[in-house]
Amino acid sequence: MRIVHIANFYGPKSGGLKTTIHHLGLGYKQSGIDFIFIVPGEENNLEVTDFGTKITIKAPKIPFSGGYRAVLNVVEVISLLEEIKPDRVEVSDRLTLLRVGRWAKKKGIFSVVFSHETLDGLSKKYFKFLPFRKQLVDWHNRKLSRSFNRVIATTEFASREFKRIGIKNLEKIPLGVDLDQFSTRYFSQMLRDNLAKGADVLLVHVGRFSYEKNPFMSIQALKILLRGKINARLVMIGTGPLDEKLRRSAKGLPVEFVGFLSDRKLLAQMIAVADISLAPGPLETFCLSALESLAAGTHVVCSATSAVPEIIGSAGSAARNYSESFAVAIKEIVNQGSKRERALIARRQAEKFSWNNTIKLMLRIHNLDYELEQLAA
């Protein structure tokens, strides 16, 4: 049994999408499935990894994306699929790879597409005054659902734009978190002291520095806290097209930029010692970094207009999309008991999400759960 996953916007410094593909690959491989993933890159390449066979297709960089690439030559992808002969196809790009779904249907190959973003939200943010904007979004989503056998949404928030037009082949499958990699055991007072540099409240922002992630909100919220005589410090973890603008915005403030962390253990440690993890993106359809923060024992303050409130439950707070609201939410959380007490609540919430459950649901979608059980027997 062979599953092929095609994704754009996958790169050396990509976050949630890359993590998702790798964990899907690990789960499929453990189930005896041959997993191949096709992604864009600087040069054509084939590499056998712990989570499957990685095929890289040479692709151009997308302007103003912070270095992301996208395979735009879908004919090349389809030619490759013809050669690979997959039994199932998964796609993580709802805009440029629609033809892959139509090809799979024509070939009688079961296919799914992951909706990692809200087209309704993105169009509202960037094309608010476009005539017939909502109708265009609905038209595209109907076309998307017809192109694939299943549309996968990871939260109720991500499902809404499909439900409102009555899409029947929609499935909700939450993503998971690595509960071993992100853990409360990584708390280190020495590391906290080193990062806090005498501050009473330590904040972290983990994510890509791009407009849809709204990273400026974290800096603005810090300014409000400082004006209120709260001794706070912010650690910004990540990179992206807004890197330089953010650094200029934070000049003279207690903000530390550590860049993209490829060392996942160090990332987990830095999150574990923080009081609050900030997730201000107003259009997040899941936000793995928020879930990873919970697993590390750190409460989350997020945008109330995103999917993140569904994920964090009582282990954090949803703020309105302005800095004063974020600052108030931060103050309320740090006044709720000790870091240790809050860490227990956050960890319990994270334990509701596991990659094993995600894999189990995906195998069921692919009608492979029973088939694999029979093979094992």
Entry pTM: 0.92
CA 61, 62, 65, 71 torsion: positive or negative? Answer: negative
Task: Give the list of residues 6+ apart from residue 346 with CB closer than 8 angstroms, or none.
Answer: 293, 294, 295, 296, 297, 298, 299, 300, 315, 316
Three-class SS state of 144: helix
Rounded (5°) CA angle 208-213-217: 110
Residue 223 has pLDDT above 80, yes or no: yes
Find where tokens 């997993």 sit: 35
Determine whether 311 is exposed, middle or buried from the number of CB atoms within 10 Å of its CB (0-12, 13-18, 19+): buried
Domain map (residue ranges) of the chain: 2-176+354-376, 184-350
Cα(116)–Cα(6) distance, rounded to whole angstroms? 13
CATH fold for the domain made of 2-176+354-376: Rossmann fold (3.40.50)
Give residue 377's pLDDT: 44
| Whole-number CA gyration radius for the chain | 21
Residue 66 has pLDDT above 80, yes or no: no
**Residue among 163, 159, 193 at smallest CA distance from 173:** 159
CA atoms within 13 A on the CB side of 280: 29
Q: Which two tokens stand for residue 288?
A: 């793995």
Q: 77-95, pLDDT tens digit by residue?
A: 999 999 999 999 999 988 8
Question: Which residue from 355, 287, 285, 358 is spatially nearest to 316, judged by alpha carbons?
Answer: 287
More confident residue, 360 or 372: 360
CB atoms within 10 A of CB 245: 12
**For the chain, percent of residues with pLDDT exceeding 90:** 82
Share of the chain above pLDDT 70, in %: 96
Extract the tokens encoding 291: 């879930």
DSSP element (H, E) containing 4: strand 2-7
- Name the residue with tokens 């109720």: 156
Q: What mean pLDDT do residues 312-337 have?
A: 96
Fold for the domain defined by 184-350: Rossmann fold (3.40.50)
The answer to whether 38 and 312 are in contact (CB under 8 A) is: no
Alpha-carbon span 208 to 12, nearest angstrom: 12
Tens digit of each residue's pLDDT (9 = 90 or more) over 107-135: 999 999 999 888 887 787 777 777 788 89
pLDDT (average), residues 10-20: 80
CA distance 48 to 84: 15
Tell me the C-alpha distance between 178 and 288, whole Å: 10
Q: How far apart are the first and last CA of the chain?
A: 16
Rounded Cα–Cα distance for residues 280 and 241 (Å): 17
